[in-house]
Amino acid sequence: MNKRFFLISLLLLVACSNGEEEKITQRLSAADVLASGNVEGFLRASEARRFEFPQDHAAHPGFRNEWWYFTGNVETPAGRRFGYQVTFFSSAIRPEADNSCLENNAWCTNTIWMGHAAISDISTEKHMAAEIFSRQEPGLAGARLDPFRVWINDWQLFSTGNDFPWELEVITDEFALSLSLAAEKSPVLQGSNGLSQKTPEAGNASYYYSITRIETRGQIYLDGQRHEVSGTSWLDREWSTSALGEDQTGWDWFSLQLDDGKEVMYYQLRDTNGNAHPSSGGNLTSLMGTQSAITPQQMRLEEQAFWQAPDGKQYTTGWHMVFQENDWLIQAVFEDQLMDVTFQYWEGAVEILDTSSGTVVGRGYLEMVR
């Protein structure tokens, strides 16, 4: 969702100076940073484009921000369940045409990369998060085709060709994962034919597609044990040059996979009063992969349960979602799935329940930024 360009925009604070990265000394606030940002010299998402695959799985130079964002729910043969998140963010700190420092210093870079990874161990209600930062040059991070690869140091997403199947490998101090990914549906275009408008202003948008159902198999390594897992993942891909509007302060993003084969993506942008912003929106993807838009006028979201983080921020862990003929409860599998990293936010696994019967009808992921 657009949240990814919001988060990646924060990387502009990690700018290069004489070939050296400045050290982040305190937690950063998305709301404070994302109301501004230099867009001069960068490409803008200002009109619809033609998407081509697998080419669009790779990087899009000229835009300021880009990410590859995976979330998923998997389990062992014995039924032990895990949620996971892995994200590769890139942010250009100067326009592509400004390559003066690159001519004289192989270590100087135009692009900074950040990775986030997390595991939610549902049986123990333990959430573990990790992050990594790197400059792109000289080959420390990047995204390419022939063959397809996205990497930040030893975190990597790769293939023997350019399209699926893909391999995802991440090693952190607390956990590791090695997953094989096979798309069960073709990419779907979010927003209006892939142009996802953040505010009414021209150019304040992203190019956005998702792969809403990905067969997932592999291993999770945790507490000295190897767990064979299988399940379903979701990929979000966006690139843009934009920032939050002055009247936007946060968001709630849902990626929901129903047992009947449908998927829902919906993001609720929040205004300065904490209410739903008019630029909110989403899509319903059918079993056969066709889409229908979900407008803010069609969606009713009611907050029902809350969890308070140590810093006092409150996150909604229980929702009542109603749109079209759908009436669901969206519940966090456990409350504390806080991404306690440089840019703090809540992201975790959820269950989808039929409101009338209480039956679980699907699983998904929820992200909240306050």
Domain ranges of the chain: 3-369
Summarised one tens digit per residue, pLDDT across range 322-345 is: 999 999 999 999 999 999 999 899
Element (H, E) at 187: none
Q: Which residues contact 312 (CB under 8 A, 6 or more apart)?
A: none
- Percentage of the chain lying above the pLDDT 90 cut: 74
Average pLDDT for 143-158: 97
Encoded tokens for 62: 């000229």
Asked if 205 contacts 196 with a C-beta cutoff of 8 angstroms, the reply is yes
Global pTM?
0.90
Average pLDDT for 277-293: 94
DSSP string, 7-18: HHHGGGGS-EET
Length of the chain: 370
Q: HSE-up of 173 (CA within 13 Å, CB side)? A: 4
Architecture of domain 3-369: Beta Barrel (2.40)
pLDDT at 26 over 60: no
φ, ψ of residue 57 to 5 degrees: the values are -70, -20
pLDDT at 8 over 60: no
Q: Which of 15-24, 210-219, 257-266 has the lowest average pLDDT?
A: 15-24
Average pLDDT for 119-144: 96
Q: HSE-up of 238 (CA within 13 Å, CB side)? A: 30
Encoded tokens for 181: 């990914």
The residue behind tokens 């998060």 is: 129
Summarised one tens digit per residue, pLDDT across range 91-125 is: 998 887 666 666 677 777 889 999 999 999 999 99
Asked if 270 contacts 30 with a C-beta cutoff of 8 angstroms, the reply is no
